Amino acid sequence: MATKVTMEALSPTMEEGRLVKWTKNEGDQVKAGDVLAEVETDKAVMELVARGDGVLRKRLANEGDASPVGTLLAVIAAPDENIDSIVGSAASAAVAATPPQPAPAAQAQSPTQSQGEASAPPPQKAAAGPSVTPPAPAQPRPVPPRPPAAPAAPRGNGSTQPGAPSAPGGRQRSSPLARRLASEKGIQLGAIHGTGPGGRIVKRDIENAKATGGSGRSAAAERLATEGDFKDVPLTQIRKTIARRLSESNGPIPTFFLTAEYDATRAAELRTQLVEMGDQYKVSFNDIVIKAVALALAEHPEVNAHWLTDKIRHFNRIHVAMAVAVEDGLITPVLFDADRMTLWEISEKARELAKKARERKLMPEEYTGATFTVSNLGMFGIDQFTAIINPPEVGILAIGGVEEKPVVIDGSLEVRQRMRVTMSCDHRVVDGATGAKFLQTVRRYIENPLSLII
């Protein structure tokens, strides 16, 4: 039985992928789980693995080719198996310029993404603002049914006989639990080989898919879905009216901006002292800001929230994303439970994530699942700026550079280190006073930086 190798959705938002490099040649023996190729998604370079055993008989895509998700890239089969019809169907599909299946990938996306015909390249997202779209529910991709792992032998007892093999062309079977787990982890069911009776995908198949590097938002999605880690707030009438009226006035996300100038003198002193203590204590201003923001979010759950159209979700856990510039855009890796990390843990993790981001090695679960975002352009000499909210988050804090300024304190002129921050707020969720109180709390932490290390 031949196994088709298709372009898989390797990130939650991926609509097409570019084949960077084949790692197996035609004629190579391959096993399920072997890496066949490297594929560049919209976020990172990921490995495409074999979903069956056999010989890599035919490669249908060239290095450098971009293909929509679902496109046949290669065929794995027995050495003497006839694969002409499979290869032929791919060719005719290419001529017709429409794929045999409806464009799979993400169906429910943010309003900025239109649903492109598969024949036309899907629109690329603009690189302005943080580029991560919220994870959309994974859509099972129709694929030919797989053979059952073992013939299901009828057994006497029990009234149900679940082992009937699925008919050719029938739908792919999966247990309700498997479907739920796949959806939570962002795994495409179509990419999975079912080992239950009749090829049914069961829990262990989802777990194995995860272990062999199946795509997904996995850990991050789980973090945000865990019961007790959030509180859903029903929309009151006034909230609904605010949301509707302000959206009409100001685009889909009615954003307003709050700017504050903090005195960073003590934070700068703290940082200098830490640097003097040795490299292992060194932290950046960015780390200090993230820690301060995380602690402030813990006191302001109404800002640590998602707008979910029919309700607002306040999170009890604090996952702070930081915008990182990469060669051709930006990405927002996440510091999970940032409020529980020490300043040095934040520093170390932030460095690691930034490095991975620049090398395009971030996994989807590392850049999805944030509850709030911080963007810092201070290092580029920017005094202040406004950042664009990454929905469904409801706020983003833009950090300007720290610089010496003359300040009047108690009637006398002093030179102080000052830092300007601007918070973009989704007015459907965050009102002016709410945002202002949050910025006051951030100020308390930034201006009393000892509170960040004790």
Partner 1 sequence: MAVVTYRDALTQALREELQRDDRVFLMGEEVAQYNGAYKVSKGLLDEFGPMRIVDTPITELGFAGLGVGAAMVGLRPIVEFMTWNFALLALDEVVNAAAKMLYMSGGQYKMPMVFRGPNGAALQLGAQHSQAWESWLAHIPGLKVCTPGTPADAKGLLKSAIRDDNPVVFLEGEMLYNTKGEVPDGEHIVPLGVAELKREGDHCSVITHGKMALVAMRVADDLAKEGINIDVVDLRTVRPIDVEAIARSVQKTNRAVVLEEGWEICGMGSQVVDFIQRECFDDLDAPVLRVHQEDVPMPYAKNLERAAKPDAGKTIAAVKKVMYLD
Q: Interacting stretch for partner 1, rule CB under 8 A, among 139-147, 173-181, 264-272, 404-412?
A: 173-181
Our finding on whether 153 is near partner 1 (CB under 8 A) is yes
- For residue 442, how many C-alpha atoms fall within 13 Å in the half-sphere facing its CB? 30
Our finding on whether 155 is near partner 1 (CB under 8 A) is yes
User: Tokens in use for 60?
Assistant: 């249908």
- Tell me whether residue 180 or residue 245 sits nearer to partner 1 (CB atom): 180
Our finding on whether 162 is near partner 1 (CB under 8 A) is yes
Our finding on whether 208 is near partner 1 (CB under 8 A) is no
The single residue among 54, 99, 129, 196 that binds partner 1, judged by CB under 8 A, is 196
Our finding on whether 399 is near partner 1 (CB under 8 A) is no
- Tell me whether residue 177 or residue 277 sits nearer to partner 1 (CB atom): 177
Query: Whole-angstrom Cα distance, residue 397 to residue 60?
Result: 46
The single residue among 62, 92, 114, 160 that binds partner 1, judged by CB under 8 A, is 160
Contact indicator for 263, 407 with CB cutoff of 8 Å: yes
From the CB of 196, what's the least distance to partner 1, in Å? 5
Q: Interacting stretch for partner 1, rule CB under 8 A, among 174-182, 235-243, 324-332, 402-410?
A: 174-182
Query: Whole-angstrom Cα distance, residue 119 to residue 95?
Result: 11
For residue 364, say if its preceding peptide bond is cis, omega within 30 degrees of 0.
no
- In one-letter notation, the amino acid at residue 186 is G
Our finding on whether 176 is near partner 1 (CB under 8 A) is yes
What is the total count of residues that contact partner 1 (CB under 8 A)?
Answer: 19
- Tell me whether residue 31 or residue 180 sits nearer to partner 1 (CB atom): 180
From the CB of 163, what's the least distance to partner 1, in Å? 9
Our finding on whether 140 is near partner 1 (CB under 8 A) is no
- In one-letter notation, the amino acid at residue 128 is A
Our finding on whether 180 is near partner 1 (CB under 8 A) is yes
What would the DSSP string read from start to end of 391-450?
TTB-EEEEEEEEEEEEEEETTEEEEEEEEEEEEEEETTT--HHHHHHHHHHHHHHHHSGG
User: What is the strand order of the sheet 395-409 is part of?
Assistant: 255-263, 412-426, 395-409, 372-376, 320-322, 334-335
Query: Whole-angstrom Cα distance, residue 247 to residue 325?
Result: 29
- Tell me whether residue 192 or residue 296 sits nearer to partner 1 (CB atom): 192
From the CB of 20, what's the least distance to partner 1, in Å? 37
Ranges of beta strands (E only) in 32-104 are 35-40, 45-49, 54-59, 66-68, 72-77
- In one-letter notation, the amino acid at residue 75 is V
Among 288, 286, 266, smallest CA distance to 401 is for 286
Contact indicator for 204, 228 with CB cutoff of 8 Å: no
Our finding on whether 179 is near partner 1 (CB under 8 A) is yes
Q: Interacting stretch for partner 1, rule CB under 8 A, among 53-61, 151-159, 210-218, 241-249?
A: 151-159
Our finding on whether 266 is near partner 1 (CB under 8 A) is no
Q: Interacting stretch for partner 1, rule CB under 8 A, among 155-163, 240-248, 275-283, 401-409?
A: 155-163
From the CB of 365, what's the least distance to partner 1, in Å? 22
Contact indicator for 9, 216 with CB cutoff of 8 Å: no
Our finding on whether 158 is near partner 1 (CB under 8 A) is yes
- Helix-, strand-, coil-residue percentages of the chain, each rounded to 5: 30, 25, 45
- Tell me whether residue 176 or residue 228 sits nearer to partner 1 (CB atom): 176
- Tell me whether residue 139 or residue 265 sits nearer to partner 1 (CB atom): 139
Q: Which residues are catalytic?
A: 427
Our finding on whether 64 is near partner 1 (CB under 8 A) is no
From the CB of 223, what's the least distance to partner 1, in Å? 20
- For residue 421, with 0-12 CB atoms within 10 Å meaning exposed, 13-18 middle and 19 or more buried, which class applies? buried
**Interface with partner 1 (CB under 8 A):** 153, 155, 157-160, 162, 175-180, 195-197, 202-204
